Chain A
């Protein structure tokens, strides 16, 4: 009679009844009682089976609807825009699911997986064309002045970097200045510092030293120390330059000039 009570997962009534039956059985002496006992056992086992099923179905009474809603929430669904008559009849709840919803879920998921990251080369595949070789022209040691001047612009055109062109132009300009000065006033060497220092700009001064160094490297001019041990600069004559090359008479000079000194 107390079927519902017995079936409830919260009650141990069935167990208690079984235990009682067990105790009673020891007092059984005649067949009729044994038969009753057997009947009781059948009933009890049927109830037991149902109870077990109920247990099972409680576990699988997994509320998939609620789970779906929770997933949508996790993915960032925006429910504010739900309309009144929205599709509960279709079984899909309303709301706007953002485009990164699944990605967001995936990111959380990755924590629960031991998936090997996909292997990809960082630099991508090989390019089919070989890299274009850089057009660096070696500066030739010049032997004649006039032709060199004409040749230099032609060389310039081959340079790729534009800042190199700018450098070249500057160097040319300074060389021109130097040569003009000496044409007007030969045999008077110019003080190096007079030539390069820009009283208004330290940076410009450094640039000038840089440009003059090219002139000297190429042998268009020479640096010497005058009687006061101050550097002076004078254009090289042709013969001098030739000698320079054969004798290998080239020196490295390091000039240091800091801001204070410049001032």
Chain B
């Protein structure tokens, strides 16, 4: 249908909006938005809401949180003056039609995720992919962190960003595993080895889970050799609770 084609085009074209600075400008206030609504027709607004809903659904596939900057640039564009109205309506649609919640996990940088309102459906015909197995690994790590008092130490970390004027980071030497990976080793998961199910596990845990905001790995200052703190990320906090994880641990024991 033509609507779909137009949507695909809208996502494809980028980089022309160099003039507009989406990241630093102020957003209109609530009363401003209410006034601005009169400048657009209902049809136009509904169109934008639909586009935003589709955008969010597709962006959520990889579970990488969605930035407001991207929403403004790719979908909202010239409707910036009624941004909050569009987002609110999109959130309502997601909830009423899909049973999904649009949650802001970072109110400073304005980053969103989608979570589910509904209990997980059980059944044989659900899509089978690697995501389920990864979730198993994740809850193992989350429960370990929780049982250790909400943070655990380890030497494995995401690759360090390289700043131009500082000395380059030390070469990757084999690290003595800390608490987290020592625990994972007992489950036949090792950072140095290619895993049958997860592939490069170190990358999965220290990069993918971190990027998805399931885990937070922060350096502990003044430690040598460098140690890192593993904690629950904001997505984990929204998608599950400590109580649920405790129930999981209890079920397994």
Chain A residues with a Cβ under 8 A of chain B? 59-60, 62, 64-72, 74-75, 91-93, 97, 99, 101-120
Contacts and interface: CB of A to CB of B under 8 A. Distances in A.
Interface residues of B, number: 50
Nearest to A97: B188
Contacts of B40: none
A71 B196 contact: no
Interface of B: 57-58, 60-61, 63, 98, 100, 113-117, 119-120, 127-128, 131-140, 143-144, 147-149, 183, 185-188, 196-198, 238-240, 244-245, 247-249, 251-253
B120 A72 contact: no
B197 A102 contact: yes
Given A64-B183, A110-B120, A119 B148 contact: no
Given A68-B183, A105-B140, A112-B139, A120 B61 contact: yes
B115 A114 contact: yes
B136 A106 contact: yes
B188 A109 contact: no
The SS class assigned to the B binding surface is helix
Contacts of B132: 103, 106-107, 109-110
Contact of B115 (A75, A91, A99, A115): A115
B239 A71 contact: no
22 contacts: A60-B147, A66-B253, A67-B253, A68-B187, A71-B187, A75-B136, A92-B188, A99-B197, A102-B133, A105-B136, A105-B139, A106-B132, A106-B135, A106-B136, A113-B239, A115-B63, A115-B120, A116-B100, A116-B115, A116-B116, A118-B63, A120-B61
A45 to B, nearest CB: 24
